[in-house]
Homo-oligomer: A and B are copies of this chain.
């Protein structure tokens, strides 16, 4: 329902296209998207590649789009005609959704006529970068949560509906158990979670009545939000209601959304144990990230975490800074050496090598013409405009869980940063 649009492109992609068409330069070219290494992430999770590839095969400029472009007085009728007949006829290779990859590795490679590859730049970066960013952050949360239930609560913090839905999907692929976002639940079949907000508690004359009423309607899922007024007294009210309805409640718990959650979660656990309420679930939320969750796992108590803002907009890395670059055409490899912005040319494949214990040893980035004995990460997704692989969220999640189990433990440490374990094959070395 949130389809890609061919006009979601920067004007310069089309002004360049006009020149290419006029000058006979619309020949074969290879573009790749990759992520520059920054120390905040040891690894990345591919998300969105298969959906995007499908949408690219469906992109068409409408009459109205052409009319708009004509109104800009910058394009020839020849070029407008080219766009009118545009249908992606090239190849797309990519690292499928759910797989773990490293900085500098091409996550998508587009081989097409130069114009067609060029005009996709904006859309590819726009669609993939934030999904990969959210999934990569979610994986860090997953890595410290030690099996506790993880719920994605970020819809309200996402930048629009499209982002909210795709971030829910990204988090689910990267190890989360579900989301509060119903639209994501519907579209992708992701499990949905949720109970009550502060406004619910405020609707009733007292917390007691709020909890009691909720528990009667939802005896299977009675999680009371205890911090509307005062968390410590909220816990006592929850205990009172739990004891009153004891036996009729199938699943009962509390959620704490503010304050010192380490201290409060320990306090709550102790009170429930004192009262013999041993099966009460403790859910924590409120500006959580991987560090806070690691702290709770170490020093506090929780059965489940709700994480929103930091998945949607990771504050330690708001933008991934992904790039989409021309890397090869019939003239050869296209290297680029701007200060601090080196691009290594060549149409690439990435081979993954494993150690004896099944963990990742390193990835070798090689030109596509060179073969290594290793697992190729880039697979063909579109061949001459035809889609070869369909997206499936559950398969993507399984790919993630499998790859995560092959990631050496040191890369999962949220406080230690590594250079990516990549090596360039001889033919790509530029100095």
List the interface of chain A (C-beta within 8 A of B): 1-2, 4-5, 7-16, 18-20, 22-23, 25, 29, 31, 65, 68-69, 72, 74, 114, 118, 121-123, 125-127, 129-130, 153, 155-167, 180-183, 185-186, 192-200, 202-203, 205, 213-214, 217-218, 221, 227-229, 257-259, 309, 312-315, 318-319, 321, 324-326, 329, 331, 334, 336-341
Given contacts A8-B182, A126-B155, A159-B159, 15 further A-B contacts (CB under 8 A): A1-B5, A7-B186, A12-B194, A12-B195, A16-B196, A65-B186, A69-B182, A72-B192, A122-B181, A126-B160, A127-B160, A159-B167, A162-B162, A163-B163, A313-B319
Partner of A10, one of B29, B182, B200: B182
A19–B213 CB distance below 8 A: yes
B15–A196 CB distance below 8 A: yes
Which of A11, A31, A325, A339 gathers the greatest number of chain B CB atoms within 10 Å?
Answer: A11
B336–A12 CB distance below 8 A: no
Taking CB atoms, residues of chain B closer than 8 Å to A200 are: 12, 16, 19
B125–A157 CB distance below 8 A: yes
Min CB gap A304→B, angstroms: 14
Alpha-carbon separation in the docked complex, A203 to B13 (Å) = 13
A sample of 17 inter-chain contacts (CB < 8 A) reads A2-B2, A10-B194, A11-B194, A12-B194, A13-B197, A14-B182, A15-B194, A22-B217, A25-B203, A72-B185, A121-B156, A122-B156, A125-B157, A198-B325, A198-B338, A202-B326, A229-B338
Partner of A213, one of B5, B23, B122, B192: B23
Taking CB atoms, residues of chain B closer than 8 Å to A217 are: 18-19, 22
Given A4-B161, A160-B130: A155 and B186 within 8 A (CB)?
Answer: no
How many copies make up the complex? 2
Taking CB atoms, residues of chain B closer than 8 Å to A213 are: 19, 23
Which of A74, A193, A257 gathers the greatest number of chain B CB atoms within 10 Å?
Answer: A74
A8–B157 CB distance below 8 A: no
Alpha-carbon separation in the docked complex, A202 to B341 (Å) = 15
